[in-house]
Amino acid sequence: MDTITAVQLILLPVGALAVAGISRWRGWPAPLLLVLAGLIASLVPRMPEYELDPEIVLIVFLPPLLYSASLDSSYMRLRENRRAVALLSVGLVLVSTLVVGLAAMALIPALSLAAALAFGAIVAPPDAVAAVAVGRKLGLPRRVLTILLGESLFNDATALTAYRVAVAATMGMGFTTLGIAGQFAYSAGVGVAIGLALAYVTGYVLQRIADALVANAISLLIPYVAYVAAEIAHASGVIAVVIVGIYLGHVLSRTVYATRLLSNAVWQVLDFLLESIVFALIGLQLWPIWNRLPPDQRGDALLYAVILFLVAVLVRVLWMPCGAYIPRLISPRIRRREPPVPWRHLVVVSWAGMRGVVSLAAAYALPDSFPERELVQFLTFAVVIGTLVVQGLSFPWLIRKLGVSNEPERYEDNLREAGAQQAAAAASLARLEEMTADGVSTLHQEIVDQLRSRAERRALHAWERLGGGTAFEGEETPAAAYRRLRREMLAAEREVFIGLRDRRRIDDEVLHRVLKELDFEEATLERD
């Protein structure tokens, strides 16, 4: 590898992390700032061209990002909202493929029906990373976030399957309605089967491994194993990864505590790194794609881009009320089982259709002989950038304007947590009394009193968060005072150990072991 190539490889992640770090420091939405920074950087003279490699995106970036999002999702909530998720991840993707494809065919005579549908499939699946990040920060209701996350987990599988069928037809392999249905059924069914098999085996292993490093090393490999295994079987690697992630996220609570602590840290760092690179890479595609367009085609391409961007947005906006209200009008069972959808929630979800790197990777993966390949790539880029910038920048404003929040849910969560903490404290105290029923020595009585006090303090803290603490308004609660004072004590202890290490009174290994104990205790204090 020559020096210039090495510098280019380092420059991208370093620059992306710098922009992402600034956005977190300032409280700005990192994905959008990264895209805008990439767009600006692509216009800088003599900037290296970072051409997106579809194989790297679909094999290196996509599996861990999908897996991490799946781990963070809730199987229970996804099951409760499965109809809404299916309407978006399957129904809306297929409708978008058809409508956007027909619009592209009407605009561009050189595109056949199959080629136009391939383009429709490319831009059909939204990427909810930016929307979910903004939504969590602004406190969107849990059901809205679940639907958006569930849609982004499964819609890539639908779109990529439709894309492969349409590309094959464009290249002369032909297709029938029955063949398409069979391809979808096989791709999804085998992907689910492979995902479930790997999930069960991996879950069984992880629950029996006490070594957190080994367990998390396995966890890092699993998304790649699932994706590659499904792709070898010509099935949906996306579905296989998502199934594994949802299942393991559900059983992770049964692993040892060290595995859970390390898993959370590992995937947060990996997400931050990969997402920063991916969104910066999207913006950096502007100049390479623009340069590949024939000069005499650029004016028409800009007009096509605006029209197809509007069509892609309008399809989602129109689909949302149809998918939400028509089934409720038709089916009494749906009305009984599902709560009505507030119109404000519907508006938020309809505007959360930002496209992402999967669309660009699919466009780059088109065969060289695909008709109007450069134009299709430019139009894909325009739709991706248009949705990220226009919808992404206005999404926070829309949420605030509509007044959509999870405040009632947060109160209910705190109330339920307080009740659960009370029950857990009672159970732990009962076990303590059982273990000490035969009496304890004077020396051990102090330990028993400390354990009893700690259990009671956890329950008290949960009620204080509801406003039920013993402090007057503006006064520090006992639990808050305990956390503040204990943190100061831990900081003082930490300084002593570091000073002893610096004076060579203790070894670094001793320091690391002690700091680990102090860090774990401080982590238990970090409650709002």
Q: What does 310-367 look like in DSSP terms, one character per residue?
A: HHHHHHHHHHHHHHHHHHHHH-HHHHHHSPPPPHHHHHHHHT---B-HHHHHHHHTS-
Both structure tokens of 306: 């605006």
- Do 376 and 517 share a domain, yes or no? no
Both structure tokens of 180: 């398409």
Candidate from 84-88, 174-178, 206-210, 224-228 with smallest mean pLDDT: 174-178
- Do 381 and 488 share a domain, yes or no? no
pLDDT at 232: 95
pLDDT at 230: 96
- Do 449 and 361 share a domain, yes or no? no
Name the percent of the chain lying above pLDDT 70.
Answer: 91
Which of 428, 445, 469 is at the close of a domain? 469
> With contact defined as beta carbons under 8 Å apart, do 148 and 186 qualify?
no
Instruction: Say how far apart CA 320 and CA 87 lie, in whole Å.
Output: 9
Residue 257 lies in a domain: yes
pLDDT at 468: 47
Assess whether pLDDT exceeds 70 at residue 323.
Answer: yes
Domain count for the chain, please give it. 3
Residue 475 lies in a domain: no
Helical pair 129-138 and 142-170, crossing angle rounded to 10 deg: 170
pLDDT at 472: 47
- Do 496 and 418 share a domain, yes or no? no
Assess whether pLDDT exceeds 80 at residue 481.
Answer: no
Residue 295 lies in a domain: yes
pLDDT at 527: 55
CB neighbourhood size of 42 (10 A): 18
**Residue 256 CB partners (closer than 8 Å, separation 6+):** 209, 210, 212, 215
- Do 400 and 427 share a domain, yes or no? no
- Do 170 and 187 share a domain, yes or no? yes
- Do 373 and 414 share a domain, yes or no? no
pLDDT at 439: 63
pLDDT at 434: 77
Q: What mean pLDDT do residues 107-128 have?
A: 94
- Do 118 and 260 share a domain, yes or no? yes
Assess whether pLDDT exceeds 70 at residue 444.
Answer: no
pLDDT at 205: 95
Residue 58 lies in a domain: yes
- Do 244 and 258 share a domain, yes or no? yes
pLDDT at 266: 92
- Using pLDDT thresholds of 50, 70 and 90, give the confidence band for residue 501: confident
> With contact defined as beta carbons under 8 Å apart, do 130 and 164 qualify?
no
> With contact defined as beta carbons under 8 Å apart, do 63 and 198 qualify?
no
CATH number at residue 325: 1.20.1530.20
Residue ranges making up the domain that contains 451: 407-469
pLDDT at 475: 64
| 515, burial (CB in 10 Å: exposed 0-12, middle 13-18, buried 19+) | middle
Instruction: Say how far apart CA 502 and CA 497 lie, in whole Å.
Output: 9
Assess whether pLDDT exceeds 80 at residue 455.
Answer: no
Assess whether pLDDT exceeds 60 at residue 297.
Answer: yes
Both structure tokens of 188: 């999804």
Residue 425 lies in a domain: yes
pLDDT at 447: 72
Candidate from 52-66, 209-223, 356-370, 484-498 with smallest mean pLDDT: 484-498
State the chain's mean pLDDT as an integer.
Answer: 86
What is the separation, in whole angstroms, between the first and last Cα of the chain? 49
pLDDT at 528: 43
Residue 90 lies in a domain: yes
Residue 474 lies in a domain: no
Which stretch of DSSP H or E encloses residue 10? helix 3-26
- Do 217 and 341 share a domain, yes or no? yes
CA angle centred on 401, ends 397 and 406, rounded to 5°? 95
Closest CA to 223 of 202, 208, 254: 202
- Do 172 and 73 share a domain, yes or no? yes
Which of 419, 444, 469 is at the close of a domain? 469
Instruction: Say how far apart CA 526 and CA 3 lie, in whole Å.
Output: 45
Residue 55 lies in a domain: yes
Which of 372, 405, 438 is at the close of a domain? 405
- Do 455 and 506 share a domain, yes or no? no
Assess whether pLDDT exceeds 90 at residue 421.
Answer: no
